[in-house]
Structure 1
Amino acid sequence: MRWRTIETFRHGDRTMLVHRPPHESDTGPHFVLVHGIGVSALYHARLARALAPSGSVHVVDLPGFGQAPRPGRPLGIEDHAGVLNAYVRTAGLPHPHLVGHSMGTQVVVEAALQEPDLYAGVVAIGGVVDPEARSAARQALRLAHDVLREPPTTNWTVLSGYARTGLRWYLRTLPVMLDYRTEEALPRLRVPLLVVRGDRDPIATGPWAAHMGRLAGTRVVEIEGAAHVAMHTHPDQVASAVLEHARAVAGQCPA
């Protein structure tokens, strides 16, 4: 997809890129989409297109990923969240909804923990890290299983992102993801959360997603037929869940 605009946002010595899809609605909520480890805004393009008729969409390349310049060292989850919060404040976004995938779920949860008054809602798609698989070897095994469950176009999008990131940067970032305790963060979250997973996702397993839901006191939506990268393979279904959550948060339908 051709982005309508690509904005450069600098926060200290850190640079984040923000992609805007064409044909956004001038009314409705704001959505900020955050990618996972090793990838970029590109694999959120289909979800961005599906959300755009209902609101404004801001799809980020976190510092060091996609087309965003690399900082001197991989940033921690807390640092990524700080950059994201600074962008939301600077751009003047009125209570946007954060939508994160994989490692991006950690970033959006942490961002909402740091500055809960900034946000209306949070959506965690394919959340990590399952405490039962908190090692590089177990994550690699689950990722290999997921590759077998994704269609070729999705694997191409993800693996080309990994190639752009490079193995060294990926491996330097991996401990950041593994060290963040999502299960300790969720009970402290004050912003309404929705957990989304593909029902064939071997990374965000059913038991782990259910545990995330219990920790945050929220519900889990499963996307039928989807694996880990649900928003790429099933963008309309994921967009529907995101929009339903936004309406519930706004009090327009039962939570």
Structure 2
Amino acid sequence: MTSAPDLHTTEIGDTGERVVFLHGLFGQGRNFTQVAKALQPELRSTLVDLPNHGRSAWTGSVDYVDVADAVATWLRAAYDGEPVHLVGHSMGGKVAMVLALRHPELIDRLVVVDISPAPSGGAGEFEHLLTSLTGLDLDGLERRSDADEQLAGSIPDERVRGFLLQNLRREEGRWRWQADLDLLLRELPTIAGFPGVDATFDHPVLWMGGERSDYIRPEHEARMRELFPTTYTVTVKGAGHWVHSEQPEAFVSALRYFLLAD
């Protein structure tokens, strides 16, 4: 997987230092489009679709070390090994942490958004969402709104349904999921975990959490600082787990301050 990673990416901006964004479970690189535009012209951005998501390849397995190594291989090839800033949210934050620990020469500054280097809670919620999506009869859909209507009973939050249905795409007259939902459901225990990595990353790290989220807890701090000794913490008021979409202005402000600081 690391020899020729088939990753779909989008570039936004053409001036300034480079920031690479890694999305969370069910996400796509384009989830950070507005954030990337707001960082211009001081920063240029690369939005990555992680394996088994968006327009990137399906791999048949889920492993944080493999994914981190694949992204690292892509970065070396795309930018000649020049260090970049790396931002990862949730599952993407775990990929980002593993990548920084295993390939520190590729990363200047690291931003970890609402996740910890520890097993995550919420697996039951994600299992419910995945089961709801995989149970949808795609052949019976005429339009995207049909899927939204069918999911309303099991997923009552309209915003959550809208986010999930971004993964539904029509190709050659048929609807299909961009994300490999069967694989993600099967590998939820791995996604919820965090691998053992015997390394440290001593560059600056911003650890950003949502005030109303419980993915970052006090008992995680010791491990975070053991792996990332130069960690700065920020809690975004009024935000839950999806900090960048719930409080975009505060998110962009924190990124800009941290990434552009001397």
- TM-score bucket of the superposed structures, by smaller chain: 0.7 to 0.9
For structure 2, the residue ranges without an aligned partner over 5 or more in a row are: 131-156, 169-176
Structure 1 match to 2:9: 18
1-side partners of 2:125 and 2:218: how far apart? 16
2-side partners of 1:124 and 1:84: how far apart? 16
Structure 1 match to 2:78: 91
Code of the residue aligned with 1:227 in structure 2: it is G
1:117 to partner: Cα distance: 1.3
2-side partners of 1:193 and 1:186: how far apart? 18
**Counterparts of 1:52-67 in structure 2 under 5 Å?**
52-67=40-55
For structure 1, the residue ranges without an aligned partner over 5 or more in a row are: 1-9, 144-150
**Counterparts of 1:195-234 in structure 2 under 5 Å?**
195-202=207-214, 204-207=215-218, 210-211=221-222, 213-215=224-226, 216-217=228-229, 218-234=231-247
TM-score, normalization: structure 1?
0.75
TM-score, normalization: structure 2?
0.73
Contact 1:213/1:220, CA 8 A, preserved across alignment: no
**Counterparts of 1:233-252 in structure 2 under 5 Å?**
233-248=246-261, 252=262
The structure number with the bigger radius of gyration is 2
Between structures 1 and 2, the one with greater helix share: 1
1:25 to partner: Cα distance: 4.5
CA RMSD of aligned residues (A): 3.1
Residues 169-205 of structure 1, C-alpha deviations (whole Å, 9 max, x = no match):
2213423323324xx5597223321101111113x14
Structure 2 match to 1:146: none
Give the number of aligned pairs: 225
Contact 1:121/1:192, CA 8 A, preserved across alignment: yes
Residues 40-87 of structure 1, C-alpha deviations (whole Å, 9 max, x = no match):
11322222222233211000011221111212x124111111111112
1:176 pairs with 190, 207, 229, which one?
Answer: 190
1:155 to partner: Cα distance: 5.1
Relative to structure 1, the CA distance from residue 208 to residue 156 in structure 2 (aligned partners, 3 Å threshold; closer, same or farther) is farther
State the identity as a percent.
Answer: 25
2-side partners of 1:186 and 1:50: how far apart? 36
